[in-house]
Chains A and B, each alone.
Chain A
Protein backbone atom coordinates (compact mmCIF):
# COMPACT_ATOMS: atom_id res chain seq x y z
CA UNK A 1 0.00 0.00 0.00
CA UNK A 2 1.23 3.42 -0.84
CA UNK A 3 0.69 5.90 1.92
CA UNK A 4 -1.08 9.15 1.35
CA UNK A 5 1.10 11.37 -0.72
CA UNK A 6 1.26 14.90 0.53
CA UNK A 7 0.94 17.20 -2.46
CA UNK A 8 3.90 19.44 -3.07
CA UNK A 9 2.99 22.95 -2.05
CA UNK A 10 4.36 25.39 -4.55
CA UNK A 11 5.02 28.90 -3.30
CA UNK A 12 2.80 31.71 -4.46
CA UNK A 13 4.39 33.84 -7.13
CA UNK A 14 3.69 37.54 -7.52
CA UNK A 15 4.54 37.87 -11.18
CA UNK A 16 4.79 41.65 -11.13
CA UNK A 17 7.88 41.35 -8.95
CA UNK A 18 9.60 39.31 -11.66
CA UNK A 19 8.16 41.05 -14.73
CA UNK A 20 11.06 43.46 -15.40
CA UNK A 21 13.62 40.65 -15.38
CA UNK A 22 11.40 38.46 -17.55
CA UNK A 23 10.92 41.25 -20.10
CA UNK A 24 14.68 41.76 -20.43
CA UNK A 25 15.40 38.05 -20.53
CA UNK A 26 12.71 37.46 -23.15
CA UNK A 27 14.09 40.25 -25.33
CA UNK A 28 17.56 38.74 -25.03
CA UNK A 29 16.32 35.29 -26.03
CA UNK A 30 14.29 36.74 -28.92
CA UNK A 31 17.39 38.47 -30.27
CA UNK A 32 19.38 35.24 -30.19
CA UNK A 33 16.46 33.50 -31.90
CA UNK A 34 16.24 36.19 -34.58
CA UNK A 35 19.94 35.83 -35.23
CA UNK A 36 19.63 32.04 -35.47
CA UNK A 37 16.72 32.24 -37.92
CA UNK A 38 17.87 35.15 -40.06
CA UNK A 39 21.61 34.39 -39.99
CA UNK A 40 23.39 37.06 -41.98
CA UNK A 41 20.47 38.74 -43.65
CA UNK A 42 20.93 42.53 -43.63
CA UNK A 43 18.00 43.46 -41.38
CA UNK A 44 18.97 41.31 -38.44
CA UNK A 45 20.94 43.94 -36.52
CA UNK A 46 18.21 46.56 -37.01
CA UNK A 47 15.56 44.12 -35.82
CA UNK A 48 17.66 43.26 -32.77
CA UNK A 49 17.93 46.92 -31.86
CA UNK A 50 14.15 47.26 -32.03
CA UNK A 51 13.64 44.14 -29.89
CA UNK A 52 16.21 45.38 -27.38
CA UNK A 53 14.53 48.74 -26.95
CA UNK A 54 11.03 47.24 -26.77
CA UNK A 55 12.34 44.89 -24.07
CA UNK A 56 13.93 47.68 -22.07
CA UNK A 57 10.84 49.89 -22.35
CA UNK A 58 8.53 47.06 -21.26
CA UNK A 59 10.81 46.38 -18.35
CA UNK A 60 10.78 50.08 -17.49
CA UNK A 61 6.98 50.16 -17.55
CA UNK A 62 6.86 47.23 -15.11
CA UNK A 63 9.34 48.94 -12.81
CA UNK A 64 7.17 52.06 -12.86
CA UNK A 65 4.16 49.94 -11.93
CA UNK A 66 6.21 48.33 -9.13
CA UNK A 67 7.14 51.77 -7.79
CA UNK A 68 3.49 52.85 -7.67
CA UNK A 69 2.41 49.55 -6.08
CA UNK A 70 5.11 49.67 -3.44
CA UNK A 71 4.29 53.30 -2.63
CA UNK A 72 0.62 52.49 -2.11
CA UNK A 73 0.57 48.86 -1.04
CA UNK A 74 3.84 48.70 0.86
CA UNK A 75 6.79 46.39 0.27
CA UNK A 76 6.21 42.68 -0.02
CA UNK A 77 8.14 39.47 -0.55
CA UNK A 78 7.24 36.66 -2.89
CA UNK A 79 8.32 33.10 -3.73
CA UNK A 80 8.86 32.36 -0.04
CA UNK A 81 10.93 35.47 0.56
CA UNK A 82 13.31 34.77 -2.33
CA UNK A 83 12.38 38.06 -3.96
CA UNK A 84 11.85 41.16 -1.85
CA UNK A 85 10.10 43.98 -3.65
CA UNK A 86 10.61 47.29 -1.85
CA UNK A 87 11.41 50.89 -2.67
CA UNK A 88 15.10 50.22 -2.31
CA UNK A 89 15.10 47.50 -4.96
CA UNK A 90 12.82 49.39 -7.32
CA UNK A 91 14.93 52.54 -7.06
CA UNK A 92 18.16 50.73 -7.89
CA UNK A 93 16.32 48.77 -10.58
CA UNK A 94 15.53 52.12 -12.19
CA UNK A 95 19.17 53.15 -12.00
CA UNK A 96 20.22 49.89 -13.67
CA UNK A 97 17.62 50.24 -16.39
CA UNK A 98 18.48 53.87 -17.16
CA UNK A 99 22.16 52.93 -17.36
CA UNK A 100 21.27 50.07 -19.70
CA UNK A 101 19.32 52.34 -22.04
CA UNK A 102 22.15 54.87 -22.17
CA UNK A 103 24.77 52.16 -22.71
CA UNK A 104 22.66 50.62 -25.50
CA UNK A 105 22.37 54.01 -27.19
CA UNK A 106 26.14 54.41 -27.05
CA UNK A 107 26.74 50.88 -28.31
CA UNK A 108 24.85 51.00 -31.59
CA UNK A 109 27.01 53.45 -33.49
CA UNK A 110 30.11 52.10 -31.82
CA UNK A 111 29.42 48.56 -33.00
CA UNK A 112 28.74 49.73 -36.53
CA UNK A 113 31.88 51.82 -36.74
CA UNK A 114 34.05 49.01 -35.34
CA UNK A 115 32.46 46.38 -37.59
CA UNK A 116 31.22 44.46 -34.57
CA UNK A 117 27.51 44.81 -35.28
CA UNK A 118 26.44 41.40 -33.99
CA UNK A 119 23.01 40.97 -32.37
CA UNK A 120 24.64 38.82 -29.68
CA UNK A 121 26.15 41.94 -28.14
CA UNK A 122 22.70 43.38 -27.48
CA UNK A 123 21.40 40.05 -26.16
CA UNK A 124 24.33 39.77 -23.75
CA UNK A 125 23.80 43.29 -22.47
CA UNK A 126 20.09 42.65 -21.86
CA UNK A 127 20.75 39.37 -20.06
CA UNK A 128 23.37 41.02 -17.90
CA UNK A 129 20.88 43.79 -17.06
CA UNK A 130 18.28 41.13 -16.17
CA UNK A 131 20.76 39.67 -13.68
CA UNK A 132 21.34 43.12 -12.22
CA UNK A 133 17.62 43.67 -11.75
CA UNK A 134 17.31 40.31 -10.02
CA UNK A 135 20.16 41.38 -7.77
CA UNK A 136 18.39 44.57 -6.68
CA UNK A 137 15.35 42.68 -5.38
CA UNK A 138 17.09 39.54 -4.09
CA UNK A 139 15.80 38.42 -0.71
CA UNK A 140 18.00 35.36 -0.35
CA UNK A 141 21.74 34.81 -0.57
CA UNK A 142 21.27 32.09 -3.18
CA UNK A 143 19.31 34.51 -5.38
CA UNK A 144 22.11 37.05 -4.89
CA UNK A 145 24.62 34.44 -6.04
CA UNK A 146 22.64 33.35 -9.11
CA UNK A 147 21.92 36.99 -10.04
CA UNK A 148 25.62 37.81 -9.59
CA UNK A 149 26.47 35.10 -12.10
CA UNK A 150 23.74 36.08 -14.56
CA UNK A 151 25.12 39.60 -14.58
CA UNK A 152 28.80 38.59 -14.63
CA UNK A 153 28.96 35.87 -17.27
CA UNK A 154 27.63 38.04 -20.13
CA UNK A 155 29.96 40.82 -18.97
CA UNK A 156 33.01 38.56 -19.33
CA UNK A 157 32.07 38.05 -22.97
CA UNK A 158 31.24 41.73 -23.50
CA UNK A 159 34.59 42.83 -22.07
CA UNK A 160 36.36 40.62 -24.60
CA UNK A 161 33.89 41.29 -27.41
CA UNK A 162 36.36 43.02 -29.72
CA UNK A 163 38.25 39.81 -30.44
CA UNK A 164 40.72 41.39 -32.85
CA UNK A 165 41.99 43.89 -30.31
CA UNK A 166 44.53 42.36 -27.93
CA UNK A 167 43.59 44.71 -25.12
CA UNK A 168 39.93 43.69 -25.30
CA UNK A 169 40.81 39.99 -25.24
CA UNK A 170 43.04 40.59 -22.29
CA UNK A 171 40.34 42.52 -20.47
CA UNK A 172 37.91 39.66 -21.03
CA UNK A 173 40.31 37.11 -19.63
CA UNK A 174 41.36 39.14 -16.62
CA UNK A 175 37.77 39.98 -15.77
CA UNK A 176 36.80 36.35 -16.15
CA UNK A 177 39.55 34.91 -13.94
CA UNK A 178 39.13 37.45 -11.16
CA UNK A 179 35.34 37.48 -11.49
CA UNK A 180 35.16 33.71 -11.20
CA UNK A 181 37.50 33.86 -8.21
CA UNK A 182 35.33 36.43 -6.46
CA UNK A 183 32.17 34.41 -7.20
CA UNK A 184 33.74 31.32 -5.65
CA UNK A 185 34.75 33.32 -2.58
CA UNK A 186 31.24 34.71 -2.33
CA UNK A 187 29.72 31.22 -2.59
CA UNK A 188 31.97 29.87 0.15
CA UNK A 189 30.90 32.84 2.26
CA UNK A 190 27.24 31.87 1.73
CA UNK A 191 28.08 28.29 2.71
CA UNK A 192 29.66 29.41 6.00
CA UNK A 193 26.81 31.79 6.84
CA UNK A 194 24.38 28.98 6.07
CA UNK A 195 26.28 26.69 8.39
CA UNK A 196 26.24 29.22 11.21
CA UNK A 197 22.61 30.30 10.90
CA UNK A 198 20.89 27.39 9.13
CA UNK A 199 19.30 29.58 6.47
CA UNK A 200 20.23 31.64 3.44
CA UNK A 201 17.23 33.97 3.54
CA UNK A 202 18.27 37.52 4.40
CA UNK A 203 15.36 38.13 6.77
CA UNK A 204 15.78 34.56 8.07
CA UNK A 205 19.39 35.28 8.99
CA UNK A 206 18.36 38.50 10.71
CA UNK A 207 15.66 36.66 12.66
CA UNK A 208 18.06 33.90 13.67
CA UNK A 209 20.72 36.33 14.82
CA UNK A 210 18.14 38.30 16.83
CA UNK A 211 16.71 35.25 18.59
CA UNK A 212 19.69 32.94 19.09
CA UNK A 213 23.30 33.03 20.10
CA UNK A 214 25.55 31.70 17.37
CA UNK A 215 27.46 28.63 18.56
CA UNK A 216 30.37 29.02 16.18
CA UNK A 217 30.80 32.74 15.86
CA UNK A 218 34.05 32.28 13.98
CA UNK A 219 32.23 30.55 11.13
CA UNK A 220 29.74 33.39 10.90
CA UNK A 221 32.43 36.06 10.91
CA UNK A 222 34.48 34.20 8.29
CA UNK A 223 31.36 33.88 6.14
CA UNK A 224 30.52 37.56 6.47
CA UNK A 225 34.10 38.51 5.60
CA UNK A 226 34.04 36.33 2.47
CA UNK A 227 30.71 37.85 1.42
CA UNK A 228 32.28 41.29 1.75
CA UNK A 229 35.27 40.21 -0.34
CA UNK A 230 33.06 38.80 -3.09
CA UNK A 231 30.88 41.90 -3.33
CA UNK A 232 33.89 44.19 -2.90
CA UNK A 233 35.26 42.76 -6.14
CA UNK A 234 32.03 43.49 -8.00
CA UNK A 235 31.74 47.10 -6.90
CA UNK A 236 35.48 47.65 -7.48
CA UNK A 237 36.26 48.68 -3.92
CA UNK A 238 39.90 48.71 -2.88
CA UNK A 239 41.76 46.40 -1.98
CA UNK A 240 39.75 44.26 -4.43
CA UNK A 241 40.15 46.65 -7.34
CA UNK A 242 43.18 45.13 -9.13
CA UNK A 243 41.13 44.13 -12.16
CA UNK A 244 39.36 47.47 -12.56
CA UNK A 245 41.94 49.62 -14.40
CA UNK A 246 42.91 46.84 -16.82
CA UNK A 247 39.35 45.78 -17.60
CA UNK A 248 37.99 49.32 -17.89
CA UNK A 249 40.83 50.22 -20.24
CA UNK A 250 40.66 47.14 -22.42
CA UNK A 251 36.91 46.57 -22.70
CA UNK A 252 34.99 48.27 -25.53
CA UNK A 253 34.16 51.78 -24.28
CA UNK A 254 30.33 51.37 -24.15
CA UNK A 255 30.82 48.19 -22.12
CA UNK A 256 33.09 50.08 -19.74
CA UNK A 257 30.38 52.71 -19.32
CA UNK A 258 27.85 49.96 -18.61
CA UNK A 259 30.12 48.29 -16.07
CA UNK A 260 30.95 51.51 -14.27
CA UNK A 261 27.32 52.54 -13.88
CA UNK A 262 24.98 49.54 -13.84
CA UNK A 263 27.26 46.87 -12.36
CA UNK A 264 28.25 49.18 -9.55
CA UNK A 265 24.60 49.93 -8.75
CA UNK A 266 23.72 46.22 -8.73
CA UNK A 267 26.75 45.29 -6.63
CA UNK A 268 25.93 47.94 -4.08
CA UNK A 269 22.29 46.83 -4.05
CA UNK A 270 23.43 43.42 -2.83
CA UNK A 271 26.01 44.87 -0.43
CA UNK A 272 23.56 47.31 1.20
CA UNK A 273 20.86 44.68 1.41
CA UNK A 274 23.06 41.94 2.86
CA UNK A 275 24.60 44.21 5.47
CA UNK A 276 21.46 46.25 6.17
CA UNK A 277 18.88 43.47 6.28
CA UNK A 278 20.66 40.26 7.24
CA UNK A 279 23.48 41.60 9.38
CA UNK A 280 21.86 44.76 10.72
CA UNK A 281 22.45 43.53 14.27
CA UNK A 282 26.13 42.99 13.60
CA UNK A 283 26.62 46.60 12.59
CA UNK A 284 29.40 47.08 15.12
CA UNK A 285 31.32 44.24 13.49
CA UNK A 286 31.08 45.11 9.81
CA UNK A 287 31.29 48.79 10.46
CA UNK A 288 35.06 48.78 10.83
CA UNK A 289 35.51 46.64 7.71
CA UNK A 290 33.43 49.08 5.66
CA UNK A 291 35.42 51.98 7.11
CA UNK A 292 38.61 50.28 5.93
CA UNK A 293 37.20 49.53 2.47
CA UNK A 294 35.92 53.09 2.05
CA UNK A 295 39.17 54.69 3.20
CA UNK A 296 41.34 52.46 1.01
CA UNK A 297 39.10 52.99 -2.02
CA UNK A 298 39.18 56.75 -1.58
CA UNK A 299 42.95 56.85 -1.10
CA UNK A 300 43.85 54.40 -3.87
CA UNK A 301 41.33 55.83 -6.32
CA UNK A 302 42.44 59.40 -5.74
CA UNK A 303 46.20 58.94 -5.48
CA UNK A 304 46.81 56.28 -8.13
CA UNK A 305 44.71 58.28 -10.58
CA UNK A 306 47.24 61.10 -10.42
CA UNK A 307 49.88 59.25 -12.44
CA UNK A 308 47.64 57.82 -15.18
CA UNK A 309 48.11 58.86 -18.80
CA UNK A 310 45.29 56.81 -20.27
CA UNK A 311 41.95 58.55 -19.84
CA UNK A 312 39.96 55.30 -19.58
CA UNK A 313 42.35 54.11 -16.89
CA UNK A 314 42.03 57.44 -15.14
CA UNK A 315 38.25 57.10 -15.13
CA UNK A 316 38.69 53.57 -13.75
CA UNK A 317 40.60 54.91 -10.75
CA UNK A 318 38.00 57.63 -10.39
CA UNK A 319 35.35 54.90 -10.32
CA UNK A 320 37.24 53.19 -7.47
CA UNK A 321 37.21 56.48 -5.57
CA UNK A 322 33.47 56.87 -6.22
CA UNK A 323 32.90 53.38 -4.82
CA UNK A 324 34.59 54.79 -1.73
CA UNK A 325 32.06 57.65 -1.50
CA UNK A 326 29.13 55.25 -1.81
CA UNK A 327 30.71 53.10 0.90
CA UNK A 328 30.81 56.22 3.10
CA UNK A 329 27.03 56.26 3.00
CA UNK A 330 27.02 52.63 4.08
CA UNK A 331 29.61 53.40 6.74
CA UNK A 332 27.26 55.93 8.31
CA UNK A 333 24.84 52.99 8.64
CA UNK A 334 21.81 55.21 9.05
CA UNK A 335 18.69 55.64 6.93
CA UNK A 336 20.16 58.94 5.77
CA UNK A 337 23.44 57.31 4.83
CA UNK A 338 21.65 54.64 2.80
CA UNK A 339 19.58 57.30 1.01
CA UNK A 340 22.76 59.23 0.22
CA UNK A 341 24.36 56.07 -1.18
CA UNK A 342 21.32 55.41 -3.40
CA UNK A 343 21.28 58.95 -4.74
CA UNK A 344 25.03 58.78 -5.30
CA UNK A 345 24.66 55.70 -7.48
CA UNK A 346 21.87 57.40 -9.45
CA UNK A 347 23.87 60.55 -10.18
CA UNK A 348 27.14 58.71 -10.76
CA UNK A 349 25.50 56.61 -13.48
CA UNK A 350 24.81 59.77 -15.48
CA UNK A 351 28.17 61.41 -14.81
CA UNK A 352 30.21 58.38 -15.76
CA UNK A 353 28.22 57.41 -18.85
CA UNK A 354 28.41 61.00 -20.06
CA UNK A 355 32.19 61.03 -19.61
CA UNK A 356 32.58 57.72 -21.45
CA UNK A 357 30.35 58.97 -24.27
CA UNK A 358 32.95 61.66 -24.99
CA UNK A 359 35.82 59.17 -24.58
CA UNK A 360 34.05 56.96 -27.11
CA UNK A 361 34.15 59.68 -29.78
CA UNK A 362 37.67 60.85 -29.02
CA UNK A 363 38.83 57.22 -29.09
CA UNK A 364 38.10 57.14 -32.83
CA UNK A 365 37.91 54.00 -34.95
CA UNK A 366 39.84 51.22 -33.31
CA UNK A 367 39.02 52.45 -29.82
CA UNK A 368 42.71 53.03 -29.08
CA UNK A 369 43.30 56.80 -28.86
CA UNK A 370 42.75 57.26 -25.16
CA UNK A 371 46.07 58.78 -24.20
CA UNK A 372 46.11 62.17 -22.55
CA UNK A 373 48.00 63.42 -25.64
CA UNK A 374 44.96 62.62 -27.79
CA UNK A 375 43.02 65.14 -25.71
CA UNK A 376 45.48 67.98 -26.26
CA UNK A 377 43.80 70.93 -27.87
CA UNK A 378 40.47 69.16 -28.05
CA UNK A 379 38.72 72.41 -27.16
CA UNK A 380 39.87 73.84 -30.50
CA UNK A 381 38.86 70.83 -32.59
CA UNK A 382 35.62 69.89 -30.87
CA UNK A 383 34.45 72.57 -28.46
CA UNK A 384 31.17 70.79 -27.70
CA UNK A 385 32.87 67.54 -26.73
CA UNK A 386 35.55 69.31 -24.70
CA UNK A 387 32.86 71.30 -22.90
CA UNK A 388 30.82 68.19 -22.15
CA UNK A 389 33.81 66.24 -20.83
CA UNK A 390 34.87 69.21 -18.70
CA UNK A 391 31.37 69.36 -17.23
CA UNK A 392 31.29 65.63 -16.38
CA UNK A 393 34.77 65.66 -14.89
CA UNK A 394 34.05 68.72 -12.77
CA UNK A 395 30.76 67.16 -11.67
CA UNK A 396 32.65 64.04 -10.63
CA UNK A 397 35.10 66.24 -8.76
CA UNK A 398 32.13 67.75 -6.92
CA UNK A 399 31.71 71.21 -8.46
CA UNK A 400 28.83 73.19 -6.92
CA UNK A 401 25.58 73.37 -8.90
CA UNK A 402 26.09 69.89 -10.31
CA UNK A 403 24.63 66.62 -9.09
CA UNK A 404 28.11 65.48 -8.13
CA UNK A 405 28.29 68.21 -5.51
CA UNK A 406 24.87 67.44 -4.08
CA UNK A 407 25.54 63.73 -3.61
CA UNK A 408 28.99 64.29 -2.11
CA UNK A 409 27.43 66.75 0.32
CA UNK A 410 24.74 64.22 1.23
CA UNK A 411 27.30 61.50 1.89
CA UNK A 412 29.47 63.82 3.99
CA UNK A 413 26.45 65.08 5.92
CA UNK A 414 25.35 61.52 6.63
CA UNK A 415 28.73 60.59 8.07
CA UNK A 416 28.85 63.77 10.18
CA UNK A 417 25.37 63.09 11.50
CA UNK A 418 26.42 59.57 12.42
CA UNK A 419 29.44 60.99 14.25
CA UNK A 420 31.94 59.40 11.83
CA UNK A 421 34.19 62.46 11.59
CA UNK A 422 37.29 60.48 10.60
CA UNK A 423 35.40 59.15 7.58
CA UNK A 424 34.27 62.64 6.58
CA UNK A 425 37.81 63.99 6.75
CA UNK A 426 39.15 61.17 4.56
CA UNK A 427 36.36 61.83 2.06
CA UNK A 428 37.00 65.56 1.86
CA UNK A 429 40.77 65.12 1.49
CA UNK A 430 40.29 62.48 -1.21
CA UNK A 431 38.00 64.74 -3.22
CA UNK A 432 40.63 67.51 -3.09
CA UNK A 433 43.33 65.16 -4.39
CA UNK A 434 41.05 63.70 -7.07
CA UNK A 435 40.20 67.18 -8.34
CA UNK A 436 43.82 67.41 -9.53
CA UNK A 437 43.60 64.61 -12.03
CA UNK A 438 40.25 65.67 -13.36
CA UNK A 439 41.77 69.10 -13.93
CA UNK A 440 44.76 67.56 -15.70
CA UNK A 441 42.45 66.36 -18.47
CA UNK A 442 40.72 69.74 -18.61
CA UNK A 443 44.07 71.53 -18.84
CA UNK A 444 45.19 69.21 -21.64
CA UNK A 445 42.03 69.98 -23.59
CA UNK A 446 42.06 73.74 -23.18
CA UNK A 447 45.61 74.87 -22.57
CA UNK A 448 47.86 72.77 -24.77
CA UNK A 449 48.24 72.09 -28.47
CA UNK A 450 48.77 68.67 -30.02
CA UNK A 451 52.40 67.80 -30.86
CA UNK A 452 51.98 66.61 -34.41
CA UNK A 453 49.12 67.00 -36.83
CA UNK A 454 45.86 67.26 -34.88
CA UNK A 455 43.87 64.04 -35.03
CA UNK A 456 40.35 64.52 -36.32
CA UNK A 457 37.52 63.72 -33.92
CA UNK A 458 34.46 61.72 -34.90
CA UNK A 459 31.25 63.63 -35.51
CA UNK A 460 28.62 63.42 -32.81
CA UNK A 461 25.87 61.07 -33.95
CA UNK A 462 22.24 61.54 -32.79
CA UNK A 463 22.23 58.63 -30.31
CA UNK A 464 25.41 59.81 -28.59
CA UNK A 465 24.11 63.37 -28.60
CA UNK A 466 20.95 62.16 -26.88
CA UNK A 467 23.02 60.43 -24.20
CA UNK A 468 25.15 63.53 -23.67
CA UNK A 469 22.16 65.85 -23.42
CA UNK A 470 20.31 63.54 -21.03
CA UNK A 471 23.38 63.12 -18.83
CA UNK A 472 24.08 66.87 -18.71
CA UNK A 473 20.42 67.68 -18.06
CA UNK A 474 19.99 65.25 -15.17
CA UNK A 475 23.33 66.14 -13.56
CA UNK A 476 22.47 69.85 -13.76
CA UNK A 477 18.88 69.35 -12.63
CA UNK A 478 19.94 67.50 -9.49
CA UNK A 479 22.58 70.16 -8.93
CA UNK A 480 20.03 72.95 -8.89
CA UNK A 481 16.92 71.21 -7.57
CA UNK A 482 18.02 68.22 -5.52
CA UNK A 483 14.82 68.19 -3.45
CA UNK A 484 12.68 65.87 -5.57
CA UNK A 485 15.35 63.26 -5.99
CA UNK A 486 16.36 63.41 -2.35
CA UNK A 487 12.80 62.59 -1.31
CA UNK A 488 12.76 59.89 -3.92
CA UNK A 489 15.86 58.25 -2.50
CA UNK A 490 14.75 58.76 1.08
CA UNK A 491 11.38 57.15 0.41
CA UNK A 492 13.19 54.25 -1.17
CA UNK A 493 15.23 53.64 1.93
CA UNK A 494 12.36 54.09 4.31
CA UNK A 495 10.37 51.35 2.64
CA UNK A 496 13.44 49.16 2.65
CA UNK A 497 13.97 49.70 6.34
CA UNK A 498 10.38 49.01 7.29
Chain B
Protein backbone atom coordinates (compact mmCIF):
# COMPACT_ATOMS: atom_id res chain seq x y z
CA UNK B 1 0.00 0.00 0.00
CA UNK B 2 1.25 3.43 -0.83
CA UNK B 3 0.67 6.20 1.67
CA UNK B 4 -1.01 9.24 0.16
CA UNK B 5 1.37 12.09 -0.54
CA UNK B 6 -0.10 14.98 1.39
CA UNK B 7 0.74 18.64 1.17
CA UNK B 8 2.96 18.34 4.20
CA UNK B 9 5.51 16.37 2.18
CA UNK B 10 5.92 19.30 -0.17
CA UNK B 11 6.19 21.75 2.69
CA UNK B 12 8.94 19.73 4.29
CA UNK B 13 10.71 19.38 0.95
CA UNK B 14 10.49 23.15 0.44
CA UNK B 15 11.83 23.78 3.94
CA UNK B 16 14.75 21.44 3.21
CA UNK B 17 15.51 23.15 -0.09
CA UNK B 18 15.38 26.53 1.60
CA UNK B 19 17.76 25.37 4.32
CA UNK B 20 20.16 23.87 1.77
CA UNK B 21 20.12 27.15 -0.13
CA UNK B 22 20.69 29.24 2.98
CA UNK B 23 23.52 27.07 4.24
CA UNK B 24 25.06 26.88 0.79
CA UNK B 25 25.06 30.66 0.52
CA UNK B 26 26.84 30.96 3.83
CA UNK B 27 29.50 28.27 3.35
CA UNK B 28 30.28 28.24 -0.39
CA UNK B 29 32.90 30.72 -1.64
CA UNK B 30 32.23 30.70 -5.36
CA UNK B 31 30.01 33.64 -6.21
CA UNK B 32 28.19 31.77 -8.96
CA UNK B 33 27.34 28.93 -6.60
CA UNK B 34 26.19 31.43 -3.96
CA UNK B 35 24.00 32.90 -6.62
CA UNK B 36 22.49 29.49 -7.43
CA UNK B 37 21.78 29.04 -3.74
CA UNK B 38 19.69 32.21 -3.76
CA UNK B 39 17.69 30.80 -6.66
CA UNK B 40 17.17 27.61 -4.69
CA UNK B 41 15.80 29.62 -1.77
CA UNK B 42 13.44 31.59 -4.00
CA UNK B 43 12.13 28.40 -5.58
CA UNK B 44 11.67 26.81 -2.19
CA UNK B 45 9.44 29.75 -1.33
CA UNK B 46 7.60 29.21 -4.62
CA UNK B 47 6.97 25.57 -3.82
CA UNK B 48 5.63 26.60 -0.42
CA UNK B 49 3.28 29.09 -2.02
CA UNK B 50 1.91 26.56 -4.50
CA UNK B 51 1.46 23.92 -1.81
CA UNK B 52 -0.36 26.26 0.53
CA UNK B 53 -2.50 27.53 -2.34
CA UNK B 54 -3.50 23.92 -3.05
CA UNK B 55 -4.18 23.16 0.60
CA UNK B 56 -6.16 26.35 1.13
CA UNK B 57 -7.91 25.98 -2.21
CA UNK B 58 -7.03 29.57 -3.04
CA UNK B 59 -5.59 30.65 -6.37
CA UNK B 60 -3.85 33.70 -4.86
CA UNK B 61 -0.82 31.75 -3.75
CA UNK B 62 -0.22 30.42 -7.25
CA UNK B 63 -0.34 33.89 -8.76
CA UNK B 64 2.38 35.07 -6.38
CA UNK B 65 4.74 32.56 -7.98
CA UNK B 66 4.61 34.53 -11.24
CA UNK B 67 5.72 37.66 -9.42
CA UNK B 68 8.58 35.75 -7.85
CA UNK B 69 9.68 34.37 -11.22
CA UNK B 70 9.82 37.85 -12.74
CA UNK B 71 11.74 39.20 -9.77
CA UNK B 72 14.17 36.28 -9.86
CA UNK B 73 14.78 36.87 -13.57
CA UNK B 74 15.53 40.55 -12.97
CA UNK B 75 17.85 39.61 -10.14
CA UNK B 76 19.70 37.12 -12.35
CA UNK B 77 20.29 39.76 -15.02
CA UNK B 78 21.72 42.27 -12.59
CA UNK B 79 23.63 39.74 -10.53
CA UNK B 80 25.38 38.18 -13.51
CA UNK B 81 26.30 41.63 -14.80
CA UNK B 82 27.94 42.47 -11.48
CA UNK B 83 29.79 39.13 -11.43
CA UNK B 84 31.00 39.63 -15.02
CA UNK B 85 32.26 43.10 -14.17
CA UNK B 86 34.24 41.63 -11.29
CA UNK B 87 35.55 38.74 -13.43
CA UNK B 88 36.95 41.21 -15.93
CA UNK B 89 38.91 43.05 -13.29
CA UNK B 90 40.37 40.13 -11.38
CA UNK B 91 40.15 36.83 -13.28
CA UNK B 92 38.20 34.95 -10.70
CA UNK B 93 35.13 35.23 -8.59
CA UNK B 94 35.42 33.65 -5.23
CA UNK B 95 34.14 35.59 -2.29
CA UNK B 96 37.55 35.35 -0.62
CA UNK B 97 39.20 37.38 -3.37
CA UNK B 98 36.83 40.24 -2.77
CA UNK B 99 38.31 41.55 0.42
CA UNK B 100 39.41 45.13 -0.03
CA UNK B 101 36.74 46.38 2.34
CA UNK B 102 36.97 45.29 5.94
CA UNK B 103 37.41 46.55 9.46
Contact = CB atoms under 8 A, between A and B. Distances in A.
B83 A246 contact: no
A142 B67 contact: yes
A160 interface: yes
B6 to A, nearest CB: 14
A153 to B, nearest CB: 5
Interface stretch (A93-101, A183-191, A277-285): A183-191
Q: Top 7 nearest A-B pairs by Cβ distance? A: A184-B41, A195-B52, A191-B48, A246-B101, A187-B45, A188-B45, A180-B38
Contacts of A313: 103
Interface in A386-435: none
B42 A177 contact: no
Interface of B: 11, 14, 18, 21-22, 25, 31, 34-35, 38, 41-42, 44-45, 48-49, 51-52, 55-56, 58, 60-61, 64, 67-68, 71, 74-75, 78-79, 81-83, 85-86, 89, 95, 98-103
Nearest to A193: B52
A250 B98 CA distance: 12
Given A153-B74, A153-B75, A176-B78, A170 B100 contact: yes
Contacts of B100: 166-167, 170, 250
A167 B78 contact: no
Interface in A162-201: 163, 166-167, 169-174, 176-177, 180-181, 183-185, 187-188, 190-192, 194-195, 198-200
Given A145-B71, A153-B78, A170-B100, A184 B38 contact: yes
A308 interface: yes
A240 to B, nearest CB: 13
Task: Give the dominant DSSP class at B's interface.
Answer: helix
Contacts of A173: 31, 82-83, 86, 98
A245 interface: yes
B92 to A, nearest CB: 13
Contacts of A146: 67, 71
A177 B93 CA distance: 13
Interface residues of A, number: 42
Interface of A: 142, 145-146, 149, 153, 156-157, 160, 163, 166-167, 169-174, 176-177, 180-181, 183-185, 187-188, 190-192, 194-195, 198-200, 245-246, 249-250, 308-310, 313
Given A181-B38, A184-B38, A246-B102, A194 B78 contact: no
A156 B49 contact: no
Contacts of B99: 170
A454 to B, nearest CB: 25
Contacts of A142: 64, 67
21 contacts: A142-B67, A145-B71, A160-B85, A163-B89, A166-B100, A169-B82, A169-B85, A173-B86, A173-B98, A176-B82, A177-B25, A183-B71, A184-B21, A184-B38, A184-B42, A184-B45, A185-B41, A187-B42, A192-B48, A195-B11, A195-B56
B58 A198 contact: yes
B50 to A, nearest CB: 9
Contact of B45 (A153, A174, A191): A191
A195 B11 CA distance: 10
Given A187-B68, A191-B49, A191-B52, A149 B82 contact: no
Given A169-B89, A246-B101, A188 B41 contact: yes
A384 B95 CA distance: 42
Contacts of B25: 177, 181
Contacts of B79: 156, 176, 180
Contacts of A169: 82, 85-86, 89, 98
Contacts of B51: 195
Contact of A163 (B44, B64, B74, B85): B85
Given A167-B100, A184-B38, A249-B101, A194 B61 contact: yes
B67 A145 contact: yes
Contacts of A177: 25, 31, 34-35, 38, 95
Given A194-B61, A200-B60, A200-B64, A188 B82 contact: no
Nearest to B58: A198
B75 A180 contact: yes
Nearest to B101: A246
A149 B42 contact: no
A166 B52 contact: no
Contacts of A198: 56, 58
A199 B48 contact: no
A107 to B, nearest CB: 20
A385 to B, nearest CB: 25
B55 to A, nearest CB: 8
B48 A188 contact: yes
Contact of A170 (B21, B83, B101): B101
Contacts of B98: 169-170, 173-174
A12 B25 CA distance: 42
Nearest to B90: A166
A309 B102 CA distance: 11
A171 B86 CA distance: 11
